[in-house]
Structure 1
């Protein structure tokens, strides 16, 4: 007997619909054991709490065709389940401030469908590992599997992760260990379930002991997992403190996610150690990885830029053009550069003489070189600050040993605030500083880099299109303000917007909005290298200075060179070939391009995206800072040799990594082919239809039908517990960005949840129907929820599945024609079902469902149940 739980107390939530499995009399009271398929529970309940119902299976077999509008009710019930399950399996319909890409949706779907949550996500740089992680967490939250999360990141990225999860995924509950809270005793962990922590903070013995007392975590995530190093020397394993931290945390979770674009780095033993962290039970297989590389297909997921597409199958990237714009400086600027190089050599020598204690001096010299390559005002101000420090007129700043713990996005901005000792690095430094400051001050009146930038480049760009938008990058805020003043002098106040690390998120967002609306120029420090997307309004970028870390350049370009960019991206790199450091920079970037072309050229499937894949991998593997630091002392010839050596090592590592990752799981547009195909239009069809069903008035629609102005009837207001009756609602994320009072109808919306709950309820009906459909002719259409659990009975996976049982008995699962029909109005047909035929049709659907349960099952997934949702005859 099928029954519905009707609690005696009005404030209790019903357990839903279930099937009586057994009955008993105990203590003189009659009870029934009810199997509730949806929550996966069997409960003994008193008979008086149960209401007999007729479920989908019963109605279909006896031929109950439902009410006059049964086709529409069948459609909305199907849409409600389909939308909810798609979100549960991808996280793509939750409250996101992003537009998920197909490869991101597929990655989350693949991981959740695998039946386990122990994966290394190794996407190419710029494909959105942060977004994929947020979507994965959103999907787990939808499933009710997200109660305790620990996210471990490099020291400088804790705040960035907190911001991303808050602003893009509305997960504001994450707190940073050591900044937002501290733990004094183990019981305090009960107050903190969503934690972000720095890997270097946690690895210290006192903090490691604290976190080990935190208990079990639902999931632990390590960002930049290649920092977890364990090397093998003969039979000996040498594990770093970071790796030991991960191994300790692994004992407190059944789910571990590692994030790294370059987990291999040409070191097989280090890579195998990461895989052992994920799957310690498969240690023997992993030890022989070279003989069976295919095993990583169940451990590693990697998306490549060359493979990913949009929803229509088009490549995401339209290509880019990079142009180098040389700017020849004045004779006086060359003389200043020579004198500055002399200052730097003396500083490096003084630092080297002090050994380890002199590292800070070497670091200061390197910062000054980078500032000089940026702009004359940047080095001028730095030299003034140094002199003020020596004369005791400047206090405060960031100390050398604090730099590593700062937010890495704003590294250059921290360098400008570097705290230096109040004593000379070498004898005669103060006198040399006076000379350099005077010379730098004189150069500001004839800055040919700045005038060339405006006269040769910017004027030409705006001459072709006065409304063109230009994104300008620099590492330093001093240079940023300098460029702004020059541009506003030439093009007027309001033509320039800035974003940098000193600005809170809301100010940065407002500056970007003004740039996209009215301003011509947005000048960004490395704050713009993460988290902002400008591809919809801008396709031209100028690098006023080139970063010493090639990975930063890849990240800068990624602000424009990403999904949604309709034009070819044009990148201009300014450089002054007359100065020593810029000659080295030019040499480095030229050699990188040569190696990338070499690697990409050997492939028969060469395309621009492939070249960018390789550039991202190579740049991330390449450590050039030390080489450039030594260039002043060693000269250009030795520097050239060092760059070549470093590139050869990076090239070899890239080749090994690419060869191995051919076996990793990756983006496959057909992967979700067995699932019911759900898109934005299904959401719109469901909302519009349910508004009509529940008498929610659509007063008007604006923005080409994307924005609904609705009025709730009193009955709906009462059920929702709200006093307002008028709302602006939409399913379009782009509209919500600039309309703070517009309600987003995603799967976290209280109103959307109400519509879903209504459509799925028993009293809504739609359990059976006769449907007129020109694409699906004859036979029957049945739907069910298939469920799988792990080996301890915990639910791991659900699928909403439709079965078209044709008149000849053949069954097609999740036909595209059904997915299309869900978007259109359902028409109720006429037909007199015959019980014997109904039984035969239903039997075929049962066999198909059981086959699907069997096909998906593996060592991680075991069949749990099959809940029939609805059945219809096709007239």
Structure 2
């Protein structure tokens, strides 16, 4: 049994805001997360708050360490503090993954904002759809750039940019997306996530840092002159200066530093070769040759390159998929023959319908196919050519329809046998996810595998077949009494299909829509029936299974057409250069990070397929591409990055060990507080079970979240957590309660455990007061201050008072606190408040010193730039004077002297203006520092919570 005094203390402890110098800064997000957090993720989130978050941070942990979880912790903490204007900018394929993980791991609802729903909202009267209430907004780079004016009109609490290395060339004028986003997000706190903060030049680091804080470096010119030569050519002093400047905003952890906490499994590759039948190979050769022609009427010029890519994907998938695609091309030619004006049609939905998630590729695809001019042809000539092309496509269609034996499909049966044998060997679930790029191939494979006795479920971008609807209804009925149902049919359908696969099916056949946003850690066998050319897509597919929570090695089976020279070279690149299929982590950040965009790489591969006709041409083109990749992967910046961005292993490991201990203590403490508070506040409404940490209310079962982390498959229960509306209600009820002084008996005898510091107080009594002090400065902090004495006027430490409230207790009659006791407790409280404020003032002074040093360096950079510009003009004058002496033509000599005089005048003007401009820089620096000083002024408010007379028995 506990009292309302306990409940109020717990409520304030659960919701107080702490300094980023302790794990307590993340209290609310730690207790809300349904993922087992690793200490490096806690450290990264704390670093971001220490940055401080009024500007942001660059989180650059190596790939595979969970940067999304780090960002989720930060978002979750801000969310708990009611700072909910959150914008997340990501590459298109990652939008659903973020949407899903925010909800699954942190219970944060979000909206993916794209053209369709943006326009719908505006038509319905919403002036700015970026302005959402209690919804994080997720959008793509391109869409954010296109809507930058609307984006900047929202006062964002935080902007997250994932895969931020796409913006590392923002200093270049050609990087239009980067520049637009930097301008649109200026002044808002930002978290940039990337495993590859710099790849080829330190200028890339300059670009990313300028996104976060434009006053860390002077400008591009001074940075380039001082730092951009690399660590070997840079002086030791400059290198130390550079490291000190970026240290407050850049954080990086390496995989080797976290192996104590993170158990990684291996990837095991298996290559399944197949030889197409004569008919299949004839179909491939003829259609491939057709696609290489310069003039095609079936593929409109505006989409020629993109549509060619689609045909090639489907051609490599199956003849069953290809026949319908050919039919849609034939229908297009029929329209042309009938005189319909379809020559420049954009995207034909029927044509693209077979390939999922193609909007993502489309968004990044710049179609610039050059076609021969056919305007010289007469209408009769065009008609004849179109008719001939239609007849040709009809012959391909007839050939495709005639093929009944599929060599690749037969090979799949062999692959599954060997794959499941490996699953039995490593004692993993006998489940496989098969990826194909075509929905028609998906249906063919389902029919074939079900005939062979496999239990199969489909997953695609539509999920509208009768079986999917049946599974969806089963799932809704199953979870009608818990909180797994989100209300979004798309999200719930995806969850239903995954759950059905986990519990009932042995095979999930998925299109590209399953490569993002779903977690399949319970499956350890991946089959790339169709292998994408985009390495980032491949990594996303494998990452569905090879991720946190995977207990077994993951087997990756890739299909390879042994007759196709180009397919072999693509597989070689993905396997040997990008290292996607083996090892502990898959592709390294050094390698995958060389790609600005996987779509650009895909276009390079497409170009080879389109232009090369012989094996020799194919091998030559791929060898050239491989040489380019080798040059990028060798990466001359690797040495600089390791010495600049990384800390000593021992230092990092010690810090992580400390965080691991602190986080465990904090979690246990807060979970105990939330559970006890719930029992006190909900005792009249709910029935509680301490053994299972669950309770029943209104015929619903609520399971405490600490158990949910360990039992993710708990059914028909509501996940109870601090952010749950019911928990919010109970916490606020406890905080608002007015408590009159009472006598409280704390019962150590009923406590299950041992608290040594309290044993000496058994049989004693005294007085206690609790106050809360709020300080707004660099950070907003709340401190709970206990003032307590025993009857002999001995002061009780803060730690002892906190431990008192771990004991069960009963309250008695109201009492009046004597004036002498109030004075004693008031004096103790003032001393403790002074200690807290002094500690904060010391931290504030350190922050001011570092900010002043930063601004001094920034101002010095700009002043040096002015002097460098004068020197450059002087050097130019000296060169011209030397050249003038060699000129014999009088007219040329006069022109040269005139140019020299103009430059000398310019230099004199620059010298005269130098001090004025330097003064202006100093004034600008002083203004910036005054703004910082204003932020650092302490605003202190105090609130008395309760007083009581205590006794321990």
Normalized against structure 1, the TM-score is what? 0.70
The residue matched to 2:675 in structure 1 has which SS?
helix
Partner residue in 1 for 2:333: 390
For the 8 Å contact 1:540–1:571, the answer to whether it is kept is yes
Whole-angstrom CA distance in 1 between matches of 2:663 and 2:827: 25
- Note closer, same or farther for the CA distance 1:672–1:539 as it changes in structure 2 (3 Å cut): closer
Whole-angstrom CA distance in 2 between matches of 1:374 and 1:812: 72
Whole-angstrom CA distance in 2 between matches of 1:748 and 1:566: 30
Partner residue in 1 for 2:564: 579
Kindly report which structure 2 residues correspond to 1:36-47, keeping only aligned pairs within 5 A, or say none.
none
The residue matched to 1:578 in structure 2 has which SS?
coil
Q: Does 1:238 align with 2:177?
A: no
- Note closer, same or farther for the CA distance 1:327–1:341 as it changes in structure 2 (3 Å cut): same
Partner residue in 1 for 2:458: 498
Partner residue in 1 for 2:267: 320
- Note closer, same or farther for the CA distance 1:869–1:546 as it changes in structure 2 (3 Å cut): farther
Whole-angstrom CA distance in 2 between matches of 1:166 and 1:448: 42
The residue matched to 1:695 in structure 2 has which SS?
coil
Higher share in helix = 2
Give the counterpart of 2:15 among 62, 84, 87: 84
Q: Does 1:511 align with 2:497?
A: yes
Q: Deviations over 1:137-174 (max 9, x none)?
A: 3322322333x444445567667756665676555575
For the 8 Å contact 1:469–1:520, the answer to whether it is kept is yes
Partner residue in 2 for 1:50: none
Q: Deviations over 1:528-567 (max 9, x none)?
A: 11111111x3222211122111111211111111222222
For the 8 Å contact 1:90–1:105, the answer to whether it is kept is no
Whole-angstrom CA distance in 2 between matches of 1:295 and 1:542: 47
Partner residue in 2 for 1:143: 81
- Note closer, same or farther for the CA distance 1:728–1:149 as it changes in structure 2 (3 Å cut): closer
- Note closer, same or farther for the CA distance 1:209–1:512 as it changes in structure 2 (3 Å cut): closer
Partner residue in 1 for 2:679: 691
**Greater shift in the superposed pair: 646-655 or 662-671:** 662-671
Displacement of 1:432 in angstroms is: 3.7
- Note closer, same or farther for the CA distance 1:457–1:181 as it changes in structure 2 (3 Å cut): closer
Give the counterpart of 2:440 among 459, 465, 478: 478
For the 8 Å contact 1:474–1:480, the answer to whether it is kept is yes
For the 8 Å contact 2:431–2:506, the answer to whether it is kept is yes
Partner residue in 2 for 1:774: 755
Displacement of 1:383 in angstroms is: 2.6
Q: Does 1:274 align with 2:217?
A: no
The residue matched to 1:282 in structure 2 has which SS?
coil
Q: Does 1:176 align with 2:113?
A: yes
Partner residue in 2 for 1:744: 719
Q: Does 1:547 align with 2:532?
A: yes
For the 8 Å contact 1:596–1:615, the answer to whether it is kept is no
Give the counterpart of 1:370 among 287, 295, 313: 313
Give the counterpart of 1:661 among 645, 653, 659: 645
**Greater shift in the superposed pair: 164-173 or 638-647:** 164-173
**Greater shift in the superposed pair: 650-659 or 523-532:** 650-659
Displacement of 1:589 in angstroms is: 2.3
The residue matched to 2:558 in structure 1 has which SS?
strand
Q: Deviations over 1:437-456 (max 9, x none)?
A: 344334432x1221121134
For the 8 Å contact 2:168–2:197, the answer to whether it is kept is no
Normalized against structure 2, the TM-score is what? 0.65
For the 8 Å contact 1:618–1:654, the answer to whether it is kept is no
Q: Does 1:258 align with 2:258?
A: no
Partner residue in 1 for 2:346: 399
Displacement of 1:275 in angstroms is: 1.2
Displacement of 1:650 in angstroms is: 3.5
For the 8 Å contact 1:74–1:765, the answer to whether it is kept is no
Which one has the largest radius of gyration?
A: 2
Partner residue in 1 for 2:164: 225
- Note closer, same or farther for the CA distance 1:358–1:273 as it changes in structure 2 (3 Å cut): same
Partner residue in 2 for 1:49: none
For the 8 Å contact 2:528–2:556, the answer to whether it is kept is yes
For the 8 Å contact 2:170–2:179, the answer to whether it is kept is no
Partner residue in 2 for 1:608: 584
For the 8 Å contact 1:224–1:260, the answer to whether it is kept is yes
Kindly report which structure 2 residues correspond to 1:280-429, keeping only aligned pairs within 5 A, or say none.
280-284=214-218, 287=223, 288=226, 291=238, 292-308=242-258, 313-346=260-293, 349-350=294-295, 360-392=303-335, 399=346, 410-411=357-358, 428-429=388-389
Whole-angstrom CA distance in 2 between matches of 1:585 and 1:426: 34
Whole-angstrom CA distance in 2 between matches of 1:426 and 1:382: 17
Whole-angstrom CA distance in 2 between matches of 1:284 and 1:302: 24
Displacement of 1:264 in angstroms is: 2.7
Partner residue in 1 for 2:549: 564
**Greater shift in the superposed pair: 376-385 or 669-678:** 669-678
The residue matched to 2:52 in structure 1 has which SS?
coil
- Note closer, same or farther for the CA distance 1:651–1:380 as it changes in structure 2 (3 Å cut): farther
Q: Does 1:526 align with 2:526?
A: no
The residue matched to 1:139 in structure 2 has which SS?
helix
Whole-angstrom CA distance in 1 between matches of 2:516 and 2:498: 13
Whole-angstrom CA distance in 1 between matches of 2:574 and 2:711: 41
Whole-angstrom CA distance in 2 between matches of 1:119 and 1:79: 32
- Note closer, same or farther for the CA distance 1:84–1:838 as it changes in structure 2 (3 Å cut): closer
Whole-angstrom CA distance in 1 between matches of 2:769 and 2:595: 53
Aligned residues: 750
Higher share in strand = 1
Give the counterpart of 2:633 among 637, 650, 654: 650
**Greater shift in the superposed pair: 542-551 or 753-762:** 753-762
Structure 2 regions of 5+ residues with no counterpart?
17-22, 229-237, 372-381, 464-489, 749-753, 762-767, 812-819, 849-931
